[in-house]
Amino acid sequence: MTSAEPTICVMCGKGHVTTQQEGIAFRQSSDKGYIHCRVMIPIDVCDHCGARYSGDPEIEKTLDDAFQREYNKR
């Protein structure tokens, strides 16, 4: 498959998946109390069934980095 070919949804098998940047907010407990974070992550969205999932293995690192940035501000 070339990069120009659309990705078929693994959930419904009919729709095409596009990747969109989406902002999410989360909070995580720490020794300084709850740390509130906002970050942009890539989310794959099916144009047929609306399934939303992440195919990016780096998301956990992105979330950890966002937490560390906010934690260091306190």
Q: What is the pLDDT along the chain (74 residues), one digit of tens a residue?
A: 445 677 899 999 999 999 999 999 999 999 999 999 999 999 999 999 999 988 788 999 999 999 999 999 98
User: Which of 3.30.1360, 3.10.20, 3.40.50, 2.60.120 is the CATH number of 7-73?
Assistant: 3.10.20
| 45, 20 Cβ separation under 8 angstroms | yes
Q: Is the dihedral of CA 35, 32, 72, 68 positive or negative?
A: negative
Helix (H) or strand (E) holding 72: helix 59-73
pLDDT digits (tens, 9 = 90+) for 22-35: 999 999 999 999 99
Instruction: Give the pTM.
Output: 0.70
DSSP type of residue 27: E
Task: Name residue 24's amino acid.
Answer: I
Predicted confidence at residue 2, as pLDDT, reads 46
CA dist., res. 61 & res. 46, Å (int): 24
